[in-house]
Amino acid sequence: MKILLTGCAGFIGSHTLDRLLADGHHVIGVDNFDPFYDRALKAANIEQHLDSDRFDLIEGDLADPTTFNKINFQLGGSAPDAIIHLAAKAGVRPSIEDPVGYQRANVIATQNLLEFAKDEGIKQFVFASSSSVYGVNPNVPWSEKHDVSGPISPYASTKVSCELLGHVYSHLYGIRVLGLRFFTVYGPRQRPDLAINKFVRLIEAGEPIPVFGDGSTRRDYTFIEDIVTGILGSLHYQGSNYEVINLGNDQTVTLSEMIATIEEVVGKKAIIDRLPQQPGDVPQTWADVTKANKLFGYKPTITFKQGVEKFVQWRSEQLSF
């Protein structure tokens, strides 16, 4: 297949790129190398593929319509078979500081890409949504049947908006749109601002870790390999024309348990810097993955401790170079 993959140099995108190329697909990758974190980290994620004759990289901003001129030029009149749209501004807390930027990068970019899919006759459109859409929902585990009309951060609201846009384009133009609600993805290449990456670095260095709240908040941590397996499962799904689908690990870990696991794997105790709970954060996330299993056999395989061990091993290998 020929696949247009957005956000190809990011954490989830680059792992998806690895698997797509390993499976023999041709990938046209788009990334704007947003300066949210060091460009060099993203460049390193895809460096091994730059010489591949089945990978073409386009640097561009999907919220800017001129980027699609670059994409069309690269395609040479041959439309991709599918789109995997992973490009987005991520993060709850930064979205509160820059809500307009998040609206542009997430909603406008997705609108432009859906228009492109419509114009080019592309019938398979997979995109990254988020567990954040569930807001503060005490009814766990969270099912796709639950109401998502109460997001509590600009980031979450953009993901709800993208799901609604996807439904419109599926209904009007017969595009199969699959919105994947990711639950706290972690693993090698994880963004440096995210908790597991940050905590491992700080604990290894003997520096305090910032802990918001009393440690009782819970997250459904999902290892990157399981997430990519779910993405590829949705890529080949040929059933109904519109679905939102949870991709999680179907279990929760408290913040205190997460820190204790990192301490055990790293072999050092954490120094805790206790801080107030942050606005926009939800007390818990927990995925019901029954639907993903039913639609394309999704079943997470990596336990939280195994995932942390894999991350720490990867980090050790990076530091050895």
- Residue identified by tokens 């690269």 is 74
Tokens of 166: 């996807």
Given the residues 37, 102, 134, 155, select the one marked as catalytic: 155
Is 155 catalytic? The answer is: yes
> Containing H/E element for 125?
strand 124-130
Classified as helix, coil or strand, 207 is coil
Q: How far is it, in rounded angstroms, from Cα 33 to Cα 62?
A: 12
Q: How far apart are CA 188 and CA 307, in angstroms?
A: 9
240 in helix, strand or coil?
A: coil
CA neighbor of 28 nearest in space, from 64, 71, 63, 61: 71
β 2-6/271-275 pair status: unpaired
DSSP H or E segment with residue 148: none
Distances (CA, A) of 41 to 38, 55, 191, 273: 6, 19, 9, 27
Q: Which residue has the tokens 């050092």?
A: 268
Task: Give the total residue count for the chain.
Answer: 321
Buried b (16+ CB within 10 A) or exposed e, 281-304: ebebbbbbbebbeebbebebebeb
Rounded to whole angstroms, the Cα distance separating 183 from 320 reads 31
Catalytic positions, written as ranges: 155
